Amino acid sequence: MRKAYFSFYSIAFILLLLGCKTFSLSLEQDGLINIKNATADSTILELYEPYKLQIDKQMNVQIGVLENDLLKEKPESNLGNLCAHIALVQTQLYLNSKIDFAVLNYGGLRVPSIAKGNLLTADIYKLMPFDNSLVSIELDGPTTLKVIEKAAAEGGWPVDGIRFKIANGLPKEILINGEPFDLSKNYTIATIDYLANGGDKMDFLREKKQNMTGVFFRDAIIEYIKKQTLNGQTIKAEKDGRLSNE
């Protein structure tokens, strides 16, 4: 029975190979699929129009000017540097306490690039759609090293306040605020609650006490850019070799 089936499959398959194109065409002619020149369904457009108007009103607001194109790359990128820098300074501001360095996950930045020119609220929502909040965590030396090792193992995550080289997925020559990393010291890091809660396999952070800013990272970025703009500053970001592959 199985053998009979098998030969049937073979014949069917050969016929299929021979007639593939004909079949596909005949299906189209039969009108099973005809999506060419698809137009928008006006009922659907009307249904979401009121929501769209509200969104556009909020999103199409210029908050600043971006001087150079931002790109997301590994091990280091200007987009990653800017985001990590904002995470560091804004967390410091909200919690009014010193942060040693900031670390973000690469996957958390949701656009591959941002083009230079006017920056809209919409651009920041695309960059960071998730409702992740900024937090700080104080870590002992060994746990701090685990964080750095994770950032290195991932091929280079966005960081600020720290420099290191990546050799075979491991960090070396780690400098924090210009000082060599000290395993006997405690460090305070800024990050997003997603990671602090153990996201992206950072389970070792799960039980650590968090100082919560209560501010979404997205809102912090918008606030930072608006402040720069008020001070007559444009936004620009460069790579400075803080992370490199060896």
Partner 1 sequence: MAKLLKQKKMEDSAMNNRRTFIKKTISGSLAIGALGFPLDAIGASKTEKITILHTNDVHSQIEPFPSDHKTFPGQGGIAYRASIIEKIRNTEKNVLLLDAGDIFQGTPYFNLFGGEVEFKLMSKLGYDVATLGNHDFDLGIDNLVKQLPNALFSFVNCNYDFSKTALKDKILPYKIIKKGKLKIGIMGVGIELNGLVPDKHFKGIVYQHPIKCVQKYADILKNDEKCHLIICLSHLGNKYDDKEKVSDEWLAQGTRNIDLIIGGHTHTFLEKPISYKNLDDKTVIVNQVGWAGVNMGRIDFSFEKKLKKNSVFGQTVIVDKKSSTNEFFL
Minimum Å distance from CB 191 to partner 1? 14
The answer to whether 141 and 182 are in contact (CB under 8 A) is yes
* Closest CB to partner 1 among residues 15, 170: 15
The answer to whether 138 and 187 are in contact (CB under 8 A) is yes
Q: Which of residues 133-192 bind partner 1 (CB under 8 A)?
A: none
* Closest CB to partner 1 among residues 15, 167: 15
Q: Establish if 20 lies at the interface with partner 1 (CB under 8 A).
A: yes
Q: Establish if 23 lies at the interface with partner 1 (CB under 8 A).
A: yes
Minimum Å distance from CB 48 to partner 1? 6
Residue 5: name the closest of 23, 13, 15, 20 by CA.
Answer: 13
Q: Which of 53, 67, 118, 130 binds partner 1 (CB under 8 A)?
A: 130
Return the H-helix or E-strand segment holding 176.
Answer: strand 170-176
Q: Which of residues 49-68 bind partner 1 (CB under 8 A)?
A: 51-52, 54-55, 58-59
Q: What is the full DSSP assignment across 206-226? A: TTS-EEEEEEEHHHHHHHHHH
Residue 241: name the closest of 137, 162, 130 by CA.
Answer: 162
Q: Establish if 39 lies at the interface with partner 1 (CB under 8 A).
A: yes
Q: Establish if 107 lies at the interface with partner 1 (CB under 8 A).
A: no
Structure-block tokens of residue 76:
């280091």
Q: Establish if 113 lies at the interface with partner 1 (CB under 8 A).
A: yes
Q: Establish if 1 lies at the interface with partner 1 (CB under 8 A).
A: no
Q: Which of 4, 40, 183, 230 binds partner 1 (CB under 8 A)?
A: 40
Query: What is the C-alpha separation between 92 and 211, in angstroms, rounded?
Result: 11
- Distances from the Cα of 134 to the Cα of 80, 86, 103, 152, 211, angstroms: 16, 10, 11, 22, 9
Interacting residues with partner 1 (CB under 8 A): 5, 8-9, 11-13, 15-16, 18-20, 22-24, 26-28, 30-45, 47-48, 51-52, 54-55, 58-59, 110, 112-113, 122, 125-126, 129-131, 193-194, 197-201, 203
